[in-house]
Amino acid sequence: MQQIKDSELILNPDGSIYHLNLLPEDIADNIIIVGDPDRVPQVSKHFDSIELKKQKREIITHTGYIGNQRITVLSTGMSTDNIDIVFNELDALANIDFKQRTIKSNLTKLNIIRIGTAGALQPWIPLDSFVLSDYGIGMDGLGCFYELNNTAEETVLREAFIAHFAEQPIVRNTYVCKASTKLIDLLKADCIVGATVTCGGFYGPQGRILRAQPTIKDLIAKLQSFDSASTTIANFEMETAGIHALGRILGHHVCSVSAIIANRCTQQFSTQPKETVDQLICLVLERVSKPVSKTVYKELSA
């Protein structure tokens, strides 16, 4: 089997992967990712025990146990450029033999769940609720750099989205990918389920106007009015579509669940964002450590 070159698989002097600074044994098969480094201890404080703490730049990793379930939580930083690094290196930790520099014959499927915050794009989605992303719609561009095999349903959704923004050439590179059905079924109870648009930034790419003027003047209204038989756009943020796409490409189970701390249609912002995020963390950890078989969830409806 062909070896992976030193310039492609970069290891630190201690044998750890370059950016994450982790060894293969440092990660669990169940992984929670968060954007904010300060959110890592907000998650791991719920662990029964913590066996490992590591940090490099904005990437903080804690691995520990809830009962007999081993769980890793790590911070990615913001946006899909960081998701590209984190997902490729997590996959390398699980599926590449670092000594031989070759891909393992038996591949590991990780369970990776993003816990984040987002702004709602429908006026009826309340502040402090939770949105579980069924589809990620990527306006950030990351998915265009990889060979992503879409289902017929994803292709139809992508084409409809591009047609909805026909006058905006920048949207033509949008990609679409669904989350893992396994993790949707695990987490959908007590969540609103809908599509998440992933943007390449926080201000112009999300329609915010301070002094610089965005090219899509009516972005919020255009996203809110998008109509598809597959799903309704519930929210937007800066990571989900990249998570879905790289998870699919690398063969892992992935999903993204967001605490709604703003509603861009009603222009409201939560008065208790930290508490809402902590409630979402508890919900996810309860499901991951003690999976439930019976799930009931709220369907998106106008």
pLDDT value at residue 301: 36
pLDDT value at residue 126: 96
Domain ranges of the chain: 24-289
Q: Which residue has the higher pLDDT, 133 or 292?
A: 133
The C-alpha atoms of residue 22 and residue 24 are separated, in whole angstroms, by 7
> Per the CATH hierarchy, to which homologous superfamily does domain 24-289 belong?
Nucleoside phosphorylase domain (3.40.50.1580)
CA angle (248, 249, 255) in 5-degree steps: 25
pTM here is 0.92
Q: Which are the contacts of 80, defined by CB distance < 8 A and separation ≥ 6?
A: 138, 140, 141, 142, 198, 200, 238, 239, 241, 242
pLDDT value at residue 70: 97
Highest mean pLDDT among 176-185, 216-225, 288-297: 176-185
pLDDT tens-digit series, residues 264-287: 999 999 999 999 999 999 999 999
The C-alpha atoms of residue 9 and residue 215 are separated, in whole angstroms, by 38
pLDDT tens-digit series, residues 7-29: 999 999 999 999 999 999 999 99
Counting DSSP H helices and E strands in the chain, the numbers are 7, 13
Task: Please report, in angstroms and rounded to a whole number, the separation of the first and last CA atoms in the chain.
Answer: 53
User: Which range is least confidently modeled, 63-72, 222-231, 256-265?
Assistant: 222-231
pLDDT confidence tier of residue 167, bands split at 50, 70 and 90 = confident
Residue 107 · residue 231 · CB < 8 Å: no
Residue 170: is its pLDDT beyond 90? no
pLDDT confidence tier of residue 290, bands split at 50, 70 and 90 = confident
Of 15, 138, 156, 166, nearest to 79 by C-alpha is 138
Of 12, 66, 64, 60, nearest to 284 by C-alpha is 66
pLDDT tens-digit series, residues 83-119: 999 999 999 999 999 999 999 999 999 999 999 999 9
pLDDT tens-digit series, residues 205-220: 999 999 999 999 899 9
Q: 161: part of which helix (H) or strand (E)?
A: helix 152-164
Residue 298: is its pLDDT beyond 70? no
pLDDT value at residue 196: 97
Q: 103: part of which helix (H) or strand (E)?
A: strand 102-103
